[in-house]
Amino acid sequence: MMAESVEIAEQHQSVVARFIEQARASAAVVTEVADLETAISYTVDLCGSQAACRLEAAGGDTNLSRDADGFREPEQTKIIAAPGLDPAAYKLLNKRCGAHGFICIDSGMRSPLSGVDIGFSYADIGIAETGTLVLNCPGEELRLATMICECHVCVLPKSKIVKDGFAAEEQLQRFMRKAPNYTAFITGPSRTADIERVLTIGVHGPLELHILMMEG
Amino acid sequence: MQVAKNLRNYRKECEESLSNEFLRSALDNFAVAYRASRANAFSGFDVDRLIGDVADIKDNTLRHLDELYSQFKNSAEAAGVTVHYARDAAEANAIINRIARETNCKTVVKSKSMTAEETLLNHALEDEGLEVTETDLGEWIIQLRHEGPSHMVMPAIHLSRYQIGDLFSDVTGSKQGDDIEKLVKVARHELRQKFVEADMGITGANFAIADTGTIGLVTNEGNARLVTTLPRVHVALMGIDKLVSTIDDVLKILKILPRNATGQAITSYVTWITGANECAIGTERKKDIHFVVLDNGRREMANDPLFSEVFRCVRCGACANVCPVYRLVGGHKMGHIYIGAIGLILTYFFHGPEKARNLVQNCINCEACKDICAGGIDLPRLIKAVYNRIQDEEGHPLPSLLLGKILKNRKLFHTLLRAAKWAQKPMADNEGFMRHLPMIFFKGHEFKALPTVAEKPFRDRWPGIKPVITTPRCRIGLFSGCLQDFVYPEQMAAAVKLFGDHGVDMSFPMKQSCCGLPVQMMGELNASRDVAIQNLRAFEKEEVDYIVTLCASCASHLKHNYPLLLSGDARLAEKVKRFSSKIIDFSSFVNDVLQVKPEEFAGSGRKATFHSPCHLCRGLDVHDAPRDLMRTSGLDYCEANEEEVCCGFGGTYSAKFPELSAQLLNKKLDNVEATGAELLLTDCPGCIMQLRGGLKKRGSQIKVKHTAEALSERRKKE
């Protein structure tokens, strides 16, 4: 019995290793975190380290001189969107954001459509064969948060990683049977090769995908 | 888009593409890079099994089309979606226009959909005053340029960064450079606004799952996610062929679709939509969702015993990726709306014979598409069948009718070939080439020298060279094919000597004729069938272990096409099976059956390279045998680039599209010359004719030989 469970644990470990390898191959950033608190710290640090990237359609992205860019900086407030988080976790994230002067939101995703800096979410399944995250997101707020963010940070408990799509089949079917449903497979950041077949990251979706792997 | 009025115009259009330097190099790079990334994506997978799965799933859809459709409709409608059925393109467009009117939509954002391209949906919507914006980067680019896609997956592959930079400068009113990353960001900004403002989002669907009424969308950019989330109305337009039973089917197809399309293990996004999802700006916070399921010629295809396998297409676009003709002329010429091999077929069913007529002739029959198809569709064969059907409907042209008639009468055909010997006298040189050609018949053929017909065909030499074998190790029948009988009999003679020395007893049935592939290429299926029966009868009485042919094209046609051609005739079924199972190519016979040894050969280790005939490497799946033989015989084999890419001969193709044939040949010869080899071997007399003719024109010293000749020359003299 003991031997068997050791074997199962080893098998799962290799599935997890495969997931990490494949996710990295798809240009995702994969990091192991100890717990939710670390995940939140990671996210807030990430937000702080990145230039605010909200793209006002009127040209927030135009190349400005260094001076002009610096002048603009203080007026920008970075946004972390985290709909669908459990209340305790959201409270913690909100508190950390407050300490750094970031805005934390869990609704109203349609108003900053010009973009949020970070979308924070939880994955329901991880598929090792392709390094894919599965997000069951019938709620519009969560869905939008993962689409309009410049950087998507997603927490994936290791126990939710399965070998391949077929191992996730029953669960997928459960999602779909509970209509209406919107389920997303997400593998790496948004990409295109439509101009001269040159792989370019970040067309309409996130420019970065960070996967935070957590025990449990 | 096909606008050419006749084959001549179409040829001219193709020729214009040849002078597009950017297109040529872009498609060359793509062809090479694609092969590598696809191989990488499939490493460790049993590809044949994956292809088999797709074929099974799609065949099942075909058998249960009506049930699956009503199951899909019921499930989707139970979840709050409205499902519409459209018989043709006009009806689909009308339905979508009606939805727009009833829901008071003014602006539309679209994600990429080949089906919407098929119905020319944008034009129909714009005619009703709707503002339509494509949001897939490539589609947006071609929409702004008022063009159709030139590839099913990469619609703007024909354009350079500079052209796109100029285009975006016009669109944004400010100067844009040629930095691709920045150009992509321009699209991100410009289009985000469109998503926000749009009333309606239109997508296609890669899958329609009957079980749960779910649609699946396979994308990379993330635009389809926004298109299906932001606007209050969502319309998904899909062909009825997208139906599958369950999620399990989809997971299977998903294993092969992105890998075959772009060499990706999976795309960035796969989106599954079931029912009327939450939408903050919708009525009762629900999105108004409509699925429009389109027939438009698909049922006709499904009900046709021959064409039903087209249903297996998953629109991965791989058939274009590997097509040597696509690589030369691009998708605007190698397609109407659907591109590549599958495009040649679908154009006929979706857009009619008018659009397909010229296009369908532009297949060189190299089988690269068949080899790579995710659904295992026999594309080259179906392309010829479409051609045949168009000619049945519109009347067969005189030359192909004539050739068909002549081939049906073997004696007449052979008499004509013999007569050519006399007719060519004034034009023949003394090296076996025509000095000049009557240009009225051979316009555009200046790129290669053509051979003369031999003094004495193989069939006349046979009685004199047939060896007497007292204790045979095996017995074979020889199938010569026209070229080796009448043009290159020395190749056959070399093989006969080699076989005789190995104790092989041979027969050469005199009633054999052309294998029939040339008439099949010309869309003369009846003649092709008749010739097949003649050959079957010629070999009927022969008690042989193998039927050996030195021509890879004959071999692959005899082996794989005969059973299909004669499948309608129950009396012949057993005979053709026996016949086809005995067919073997020269190299496989010598290497695998006779198992020749290095001790038999002598001579210096001359540097030699190989051209792999399409019908050898793909038609017969033979790769190692001829190369092993080169090494066994002591030649210094050095691999050329793209050895398994077509030389541009393609039988009657090179006569019909000489400009394209010449380009393929040039590329081939460049690769051959780059090896520094003095000897080029191959296993097909058609390829030999093409390669020798091209090298002669170049004034090259490289000798082209059939593997049989090279081996024969290197055997130790006893």
Q: How confident is the model at residue A1, as a pLDDT?
A: 56
Q: How confident is the model at residue B631, as a pLDDT?
A: 96
Please judge whether A203 and B273 are an interchain contact, meaning their C-beta atoms are less than 8 angstroms apart. Answer: no
Please judge whether A195 and B159 are an interchain contact, meaning their C-beta atoms are less than 8 angstroms apart. Answer: yes
Q: What distance in Å separates the CA atoms of residue A99 and residue A120, rounded to the nearest whole number?
A: 18
Q: How confident is the model at residue A58, as a pLDDT?
A: 33
Q: Name the closest residue on chain A to residue B139, using Cα atoms.
A: A194
Note whether B186 and B97 are same-domain residues: yes
Integer-rounded Cα Rg, in Å, for chain A is 18
On average, the pLDDT of chain B sits at: 94
For residue B103, give the amino acid letter: T
Q: H/E element holding B110?
A: strand B107-110
Please judge whether B184 and A26 are an interchain contact, meaning their C-beta atoms are less than 8 angstroms apart. Answer: no
When pLDDT is cut at 50, 70 and 90, the band that residue B417 belongs to is: confident
Classify residue B490: in a domain, yes or no: yes
Taking the CA of residue B332 and the nearest CA in chain A, the distance in Å comes to 16
Q: Are B119 and B94 in contact (CB under 8 A)?
A: no
Q: Locate B589 and state its tokens.
A: 């016979």
Q: Are B404 and B519 in contact (CB under 8 A)?
A: yes
Q: Are B453 and B485 in contact (CB under 8 A)?
A: no
Q: What CATH number is attached to the domain comprising A28?
A: 3.40.50.10420
| Spans of chain A, pLDDT less than 70 | 1-2, 51-76, 112-114
Choose the weakest-confidence range: B10-24, B281-295, B443-457: B443-457
Is A143 an 8 Å CB contact of chain B? yes
Mark which residues 148-167 of A lie under 8 Å from B by CB: 148, 165-166
Q: Is the pLDDT of residue B501 over 90?
A: yes
Please judge whether B275 and A130 are an interchain contact, meaning their C-beta atoms are less than 8 angstroms apart. Answer: no
User: In A, which residues are within 8 Å of B269 by CB distance?
Assistant: 184-187, 190, 205
Q: How confident is the model at residue B251, as a pLDDT?
A: 98
Please provide residue B594's backbone torsions phi and psi, each rounded to the nearest 5 degrees: -75, -25
For residue B462, give the amino acid letter: W
Q: What distance in Å separates the CA atoms of residue B395 and residue B393, rounded to the nearest whole number?
A: 6
Classify residue B68: in a domain, yes or no: no
Is A51 an 8 Å CB contact of chain B? no
Q: How confident is the model at residue A59, as a pLDDT?
A: 39
Please judge whether A182 and B279 are an interchain contact, meaning their C-beta atoms are less than 8 angstroms apart. Answer: no
Note whether B106 and B245 are same-domain residues: yes
Residue in B683, B704, B684, B682 with CA at minimum distance from that of residue B693: B704
Please judge whether B221 and A175 are an interchain contact, meaning their C-beta atoms are less than 8 angstroms apart. Answer: no
Taking the CA of residue A80 and the nearest CA in chain B, the distance in Å comes to 19
Q: Name the closest residue on chain B to residue A185, using Cα atoms.
A: B270
Give this complex's ipTM: 0.92
Tens of pLDDT, residues B664-718: 999 999 999 999 999 999 999 999 999 999 999 999 999 999 999 999 999 987 6
Alpha carbons within 13 A on the beta-carbon side of B190: 21
Please judge whether B220 and A189 are an interchain contact, meaning their C-beta atoms are less than 8 angstroms apart. Answer: no
| Alpha-carbon separation of residue B333 from B2, B5, B346, B357 (angstroms) | 7, 13, 15, 13
Is A54 an 8 Å CB contact of chain B? no
Please judge whether B222 and A205 are an interchain contact, meaning their C-beta atoms are less than 8 angstroms apart. Answer: yes
Q: What CATH number is attached to the domain comprising B89?
A: 3.40.50.10420
Please judge whether B221 and A190 are an interchain contact, meaning their C-beta atoms are less than 8 angstroms apart. Answer: yes
Count of CB contacts below 8 A, A vs B?
194
Note whether B381 and B439 are same-domain residues: no
Please judge whether B229 and A169 are an interchain contact, meaning their C-beta atoms are less than 8 angstroms apart. Answer: no
In chain A, how many H helices and how many E strands?
Answer: 6, 12
Q: Locate B285 and state its tokens.
A: 């916070």
Q: H/E element holding B273?
A: strand B269-274
Q: Locate B171 and state its tokens.
A: 């669109």
Residue in B78, B279, B226 with CA at minimum distance from that of residue A184: B226
Please judge whether B189 and A59 are an interchain contact, meaning their C-beta atoms are less than 8 angstroms apart. Answer: yes
Note whether B630 and B485 are same-domain residues: no
When pLDDT is cut at 50, 70 and 90, the band that residue B604 belongs to is: confident
Classify residue B366: in a domain, yes or no: yes
In chain B, how many H helices and how many E strands?
Answer: 36, 18
Taking the CA of residue B106 and the nearest CA in chain A, the distance in Å comes to 20
Tell me what the mean pLDDT of segment B120-132 comes to.
Answer: 97
Give the three-class secondary structure for B416. helix
Instruction: Count CB atoms within 10 A of the CB of residue B283.
Output: 11
Which one of B184, B206, B223, B252 makes the best mutation probe of the A interface by having the most chain A beta carbons within 10 Å? Answer: B184
Q: Are B157 and A198 in contact (CB under 8 A)?
A: no
Is A88 an 8 Å CB contact of chain B? no
Q: Name the closest residue on chain B to residue A171, using Cα atoms.
A: B247
Q: How confident is the model at residue B220, as a pLDDT?
A: 96
Tens of pLDDT, residues B16-25: 999 999 999 9
Q: How confident is the model at residue B390, as a pLDDT?
A: 94
Instruction: Count CB atoms within 10 A of the CB of residue A76.
Output: 14
Taking the CA of residue B44 and the nearest CA in chain A, the distance in Å comes to 12
Q: What CATH number is attached to the domain comprising B606?
A: 3.40.50.1860
Q: How confident is the model at residue B453, as a pLDDT?
A: 87
Q: Name the closest residue on chain A to residue B193, using Cα atoms.
A: A57
* Structural domain count of chain B: 4
Domain finish residue from B543, B562, B591: B591
User: In B, which residues are within 8 Å of A163 by CB distance?
Assistant: none
Percent of the residues in chain B that have a pLDDT greater than 90, as a whole number: 86
* Structural domain count of chain A: 1
Please provide residue B618's backbone torsions phi and psi, each rounded to the nearest 5 degrees: -100, -45
Residue in A187, A168, A112, A182 with CA at minimum distance from that of residue A145: A112
Q: Among partner residues A138, A183, A194, which is closest to B156 by beta-carbon distance? A: A194
Please judge whether B268 and A132 are an interchain contact, meaning their C-beta atoms are less than 8 angstroms apart. Answer: no
Tens of pLDDT, residues B47-80: 999 999 999 999 999 999 999 999 999 999 999 9
When pLDDT is cut at 50, 70 and 90, the band that residue B514 belongs to is: very high
The model's pTM is 0.91
Residue in B258, B243, B385 with CA at minimum distance from that of residue B315: B258
Classify residue B633: in a domain, yes or no: yes
Q: Among partner residues B229, B246, B254, which is closest to A147 by beta-carbon distance? A: B229
Classify residue B175: in a domain, yes or no: yes
Q: Name the closest residue on chain A to residue B224, using Cα atoms.
A: A204
Q: Name the closest residue on chain A to residue B285, using Cα atoms.
A: A140
Placement of tokens 């597009």 in the chain = B20
Q: Are B266 and A133 in contact (CB under 8 A)?
A: no
Q: What distance in Å separates the CA atoms of residue A158 and residue A162, rounded to the nearest whole number?
A: 9
Longest Cα–Cα distance in chain A: 67
Classify residue B65: in a domain, yes or no: no
Note whether B608 and B661 are same-domain residues: yes
Q: Among partner residues B30, B154, B274, which is closest to A194 by beta-carbon distance? A: B154
Q: Are B610 and B681 in contact (CB under 8 A)?
A: yes
Q: Name the closest residue on chain B to residue A113, using Cα atoms.
A: B196
Q: What distance in Å separates the CA atoms of residue B264 and residue A129, rounded to the nearest whole number?
A: 12
Please judge whether A192 and B221 are an interchain contact, meaning their C-beta atoms are less than 8 angstroms apart. Answer: yes
Which one of A22, A194, A209 makes the best mutation probe of the B interface by having the most chain B beta carbons within 10 Å? Answer: A194
User: In A, which residues are within 8 Å of B282 by CB distance?
Assistant: none
Residues A100-104: contacts with CB under 8 Å, at least 24 apart: A100/A44, A100/A47, A100/A48, A101/A77, A102/A44, A102/A47, A102/A48, A102/A77, A102/A78, A103/A77, A103/A78, A103/A79, A104/A79, A104/A80
Q: Name the closest residue on chain A to residue B23, using Cα atoms.
A: A196
Note whether B388 and B428 are same-domain residues: no
Q: What distance in Å separates the CA atoms of residue B242 and residue B206, rounded to the nearest whole number?
A: 6
Note whether B108 and B215 are same-domain residues: yes
Residues B23-27: contacts with CB under 8 Å, at least 24 apart: B23/B158, B23/B330, B24/B328, B26/A196, B26/A197, B26/B157, B26/B158, B26/B160, B27/B157, B27/B326, B27/B327, B27/B328, B27/B330
Q: What distance in Å separates the CA atoms of residue B111 and residue B126, rounded to the nearest whole number?
A: 16
Please judge whether A180 and B79 are an interchain contact, meaning their C-beta atoms are less than 8 angstroms apart. Answer: yes
Contacts for B255 with CB less than 8 Å, ≥ 6 apart? A165, B45, B50, B53
Taking the CA of residue A135 and the nearest CA in chain B, the distance in Å comes to 10
Please judge whether B225 and A143 are an interchain contact, meaning their C-beta atoms are less than 8 angstroms apart. Answer: yes
Please provide residue B173's backbone torsions phi and psi, each rounded to the nearest 5 degrees: 70, 10
Q: Among partner residues A147, A179, A190, which is closest to B274 by beta-carbon distance? A: A179
Q: What distance in Å separates the CA atoms of residue A119 and residue A135, rounded to the nearest whole number?
A: 13
Domain finish residue from B336, B360, B395: B395
Please judge whether A184 and B30 are an interchain contact, meaning their C-beta atoms are less than 8 angstroms apart. Answer: no
Is A113 an 8 Å CB contact of chain B? yes
Q: What distance in Å separates the CA atoms of residue B710 and residue B610, rounded to the nearest whole number?
A: 12
Instruction: Count CB atoms within 10 A of the CB of residue B299.
Output: 16
Q: Locate B45 and state its tokens.
A: 């997978």
Residue in B120, B144, B123, B156 with CA at minimum distance from that of residue B355: B120
Q: Are A27 and A201 in contact (CB under 8 A)?
A: yes
When pLDDT is cut at 50, 70 and 90, the band that residue B401 belongs to is: confident
Classify residue B400: in a domain, yes or no: no
Domain finish residue from B567, B591, B615: B591
Note whether B269 and B143 are same-domain residues: yes
Q: Among partner residues B159, B214, B278, which is closest to A139 by beta-carbon distance? A: B278
Which one of A204, A208, A211 makes the best mutation probe of the B interface by having the most chain B beta carbons within 10 Å? Answer: A204
Range of the domain at A42: 2-56+65-214
* DSSP secondary structure of B204-220: --SEEETTTTEEEEEES
Q: Name the closest residue on chain B to residue A112, using Cα atoms.
A: B196
Q: How confident is the model at residue A56, as a pLDDT?
A: 42
Please judge whether A129 and B137 are an interchain contact, meaning their C-beta atoms are less than 8 angstroms apart. Answer: no
Tens of pLDDT, residues A62-117: 433 333 333 333 346 899 999 989 999 999 999 999 999 999 999 999 886 567 99
User: In A, which residues are within 8 Å of B281 by CB distance?
Assistant: 110
User: In A, which residues are within 8 Å of B268 by CB distance?
Assistant: 26, 186-191, 205
Please judge whether B137 and A177 are an interchain contact, meaning their C-beta atoms are less than 8 angstroms apart. Answer: no
Classify residue B51: in a domain, yes or no: no
Range of the domain at B469: 410-591
Pairing of strands A149-157, B131-134: unpaired
User: In B, which residues are within 8 Å of A140 by CB distance?
Assistant: 229, 277-280
Please judge whether A180 and B276 are an interchain contact, meaning their C-beta atoms are less than 8 angstroms apart. Answer: yes
Phi-psi region of A138 (alpha: psi -120 to 50; beta: other; left: phi over 0): alpha
Q: What distance in Å separates the CA atoms of residue A81 and residue A141, rounded to the nearest whole number?
A: 9
- Per the DSSP assignment, residues forming a β-bridge with A120 are A153
| Alpha-carbon separation of residue B256 from B101, B630, B670 (angstroms) | 39, 36, 34
Q: Is the pLDDT of residue B322 over 80?
A: yes
Q: Are B527 and B408 in contact (CB under 8 A)?
A: yes
